[in-house]
Amino acid sequence: MRFKDKVAIVTGSSRGVGKTIAIAFAREGADLVLAARTVAEDDAPARRPGTIGTTAEEVRALGRRALAVKTDVGVRSEVEEMVKKTIEEFGQIDILINAAWNVTWTLEPLDDLMRPEVADATIETFRGVLNCIRAVLPQMRSQKYGRIINITSVGAKIKVPQCPVYGGLKAGIAHFSKCVADVVGPEGITINCVAPGIMATASTFDIFPKEVLDIVLTTQPARRWGEEEEVARAVLFLADDESSYINGVHLSVDGGYSHF
């Protein structure tokens, strides 16, 4: 087991890619801290199933410890409390995966796309990454060890006019990560990003119209949708000590769609 006795925080881990990443770490021996807003099924967008409690049950079924903490990553005090509970429970933080996200895709005019009521929830994506990294760095620095992986998007690398705020902020997260990696690298901490393409998830088919997905499917080299497990494998690699000489990269997992 690659991560035996390591402790990983995974945000956005009630469902989707975040949950898949959390379960993948548990299978490889890690103990998990599961942070998300969804603690009851009624909290879920579009009533999609999954809570941090159910993810915690699956982690424990794999023989690993799990701590589920209701957390809005856009609220600094909630993130700080989550990190405090992590240290009290486990005494260490080895890995942080920022997988929480929010995206609005629409054919509305650009002016409407930039309205505060549309854009603000997406802006919290960046605030959440900033809050989480700032909260875990003191512990990682005291350990002289840490692995941080931020989940961005293919939309950070190609033009997506229908969600410019989301794509712009994800690109900002990638550049922010590269800058911070340069500072904390000498302290035994790496910060990298993974940019998934379009994944075969319920949220994908909820957000994007079928005609748009059909066009994408015929233009990307892989000619298929990505699987959540493929993103998880890339994250596991960047969190593994075998990749300790990789720092500040923005790795695409998109079937060749972004071409870089």
**pLDDT tens digits, residue range 173-213?**
999 999 999 999 999 999 999 999 988 877 777 777 777 78
pLDDT digits (tens, 9 = 90+) for 222-244: 888 889 999 999 999 999 999 99
Name the more confident of 24 and 126: 24
pLDDT of residue 123: 84
Structural domains present in the chain: 7-253 (3.40.50.720)
pLDDT by residue (tens digit) across 34-74?
999 866 555 555 556 789 999 999 999 999 999 999 999 99
pLDDT at res. 235: 98
In this predicted structure, what is the pLDDT of residue 122?
A: 78
Question: Is the distance from CB of 36 to CB of 62 less than 8 angstroms?
Answer: no
Q: Say which residue the tokens 């900002």 belong to.
A: 172
245 is catalytic: no
**What pLDDT is attached to residue 162?**
76
pLDDT attached to residue 81: 98
CB atoms within 10 A of CB 221: 10
What is the mean predicted confidence (pLDDT) over 11-17?
93
Looking at residue 62, its pLDDT comes to: 98
Question: Is residue 73 a contact partner of residue 79, using CB atoms and an 8 Å limit?
Answer: yes
Instruction: Give the mean pLDDT of the chain.
Output: 89
pTM of the model: 0.92
pLDDT in tens, 131-173: 999 999 999 999 999 999 999 999 899 987 777 888 899 999 9
User: What is the pLDDT confidence band of residue 82, given thresholds at 50, 70 and 90?
Assistant: very high
List the alpha helices (DSSP H) in the chain.
Answer: 16-27, 52-61, 76-90, 110-113, 116-143, 164-184, 202-207, 210-219, 228-239
pLDDT at 84 over 90: yes
% of the chain at pLDDT higher than 90 = 66
Contacts of 228 (CB under 8 A, 6+ apart): 16, 17, 20, 199, 200, 201
Catalytic residue among 145, 166, 245, 257: 166
Cα-based torsion angle of the residue sequence 245, 249, 252, 258 in order, rounded to the nearest 10 degrees:
-140
pLDDT at 183: 98
